[in-house]
Structure 1
Amino acid sequence: AGIMTEAPSDTCDYQRFAEMLIHLTPQGASVPYNVTYDKDGHVWVASKGGLFKFDAKTKRVLHKRKNPFPKTMAAFCQVIYHEDTIIYTSAECKDGQTAMFFLDLDGTEKHMSIIDGLLLSMVVNSKGDIYICKQPTSDKSSIFTTNFEAPLGWDEVISITGSFYDTLGLVDDDTLMASTVELPKNMFSKQALRLISLGEDEAKETTVFSEAGKEPGKIFFPRSIKRHNEHMIVMDKSGRFLRFTPEGEYVDTVCEIDAYLANGFTLMPSENEVEEGIRALTAMSGIVRDPSNLAICDDWLEVIPLDGKSWKEKKKEIA
């Protein structure tokens, strides 16, 4: 179920040595899904190869927690920084359960818990509430929550039938933006974005917006949803970074890279946003051509300026 054959990227035909911030493949960080900064400005990458901590300036590996058999690992490993702690999730496909680790910034394990099911997405708000959704095993899908201080049991927040919650984003401490995909999942599944008000008593869906498609304002399997100032940025499998208001209105497309390359992103902390603009540190994985023109699998982190341009336009400028 859910195996989607993906067309090769239409423009990323060469290995992007010049554009890489960090080349992940040589370090063993194969197939990266998510990336986060800690308070020291170091970069943590969750990949099928394991969890890696990098010094963004020297590119050195400061810590690694390697998986011996990356190919057996499930997709969508998560990594989030919260209060001097790295929350990292990892799962083996065949286990049907996910390990959630709470680590000190030197990589020491403080706590570990096991979650039934395979995680798809995770967010943590400023109060330490953790929200997750999982790969569907029936026609019902739920978002669950626990708290960072005592992550012992998971409570169901809200459920949906006939679709599943795929990717979660945090609008604010009391509001989630979630993408949903209609079951059974295939390339033509109906999709939507939903705003969920978390409320004191019970969560409720307040707005359903957008739909599947590659036209402006439509979505094609969102992979990462992040808040930036007054907007929500949704990155999807078509390679577009779409901006919406926190109320769910489409604003613009702030960048378009190649389809299927990017798995997740985090917004870069900016010393000087006026000069630098918004930039996304993006976890990339795909088939590219190496210098001898061989097609290889490559994994890297790249800084993507969300400057309104598409890679296709940039290639035309060079040509």
Structure 2
Amino acid sequence: MKTTNLAALAVLGALSLTGCGVDAGDLPVDDSNAEQPSQVLPGTSADTAQEAELPALDGRAAAAEEGVRGMAVTPGLMGLTSSWYSGSVAPGATQHWQWNNASATSAYEVGLSPTGAATTGPCQFEVTRTWDVQQYGGEREFHFNIKNVGSITCGTNILLDSQTRTSTWATGGIDVGASKTWTWNNANPLTASHIVGVAPSGATSGNPCQLEVTNTWYTQQPDGEREFKFTVKNVGAIACQGDIQLARVSNSASSWATGTLAPGATKSWVWNNANPLDRVYAPGLSPAGASASDTCDLKVSRTYYQQKINTDGTAEREYYLTIQNVGSLSCSGTLLLNYL
């Protein structure tokens, strides 16, 4: 069985994606005062926004220097926005990358294809944070941090991809350190994942506008409606605003039942042979089991990629993901392993 539940074996259930659009008339809801689920990822610090400030490495320059077509991944690489190599990274170390002149109408997703695994240990990398920046003059930058979460020094091919937005709206002003939460109603089709970014605005000559999506999760209402919820925080030094870039991802690698999770419980899986090596995953959830008075609330709380050396000497990429019940009701759902 290709998918292994780290807590218990999961039964795969293949779903056929319809590719349907969001129903006309569905509007985002600003839930600024809504109670927000925990944003802590298992195995990471409680507040990744407080990571030590690192100088931003230039992704465009790195990709140009390498010559993207020469990357040792697969011929499908040029379907990505771009890709480049991280260089060697020590265990526990973090790199901060930026993609200059980012599209103002797309949401970005980062995948990883680690390389340099040894028989003594796998090579493991995780995207620990992503955020958007507007510089004075209007340029949008997409920023992200990657971390070597393994025990050996190694590197990773960074796989940057984007999806053109399916919906957009203005955030309104957000004060420094403040957050706003939105709900995307009728998040259909039920087999689609959602990714979200922000095109910030309001930078001054002295300070950029910096906005970060700090949390995302899915909810099933008692009437069966699925909702996608997310929180945006102003992580810069000035009050500013932006335009939400909400995109839908409907390419399916697989899907399976999560089984029942108690409130606060987590469950993890590994997707073996995560090929092709330039594939960028964007998992989602379709919660089930809401009661007459309580919602079912599930989130993908952590993902990371690893390369391991098999007993026959071959190298294999794997994709790990953890989900969490962030509501107050024991419930289940379908995990959607989608990709850009």
Same fold at TM > 0.5? no
TM-score normalised over the length of structure 2: 0.24
Q: Which has the higher contact order (CA 8 A, sep 6+)?
A: 2
Structure number with bigger Rg:
2
> When you count strand as a share of all residues, which structure comes out higher?
1
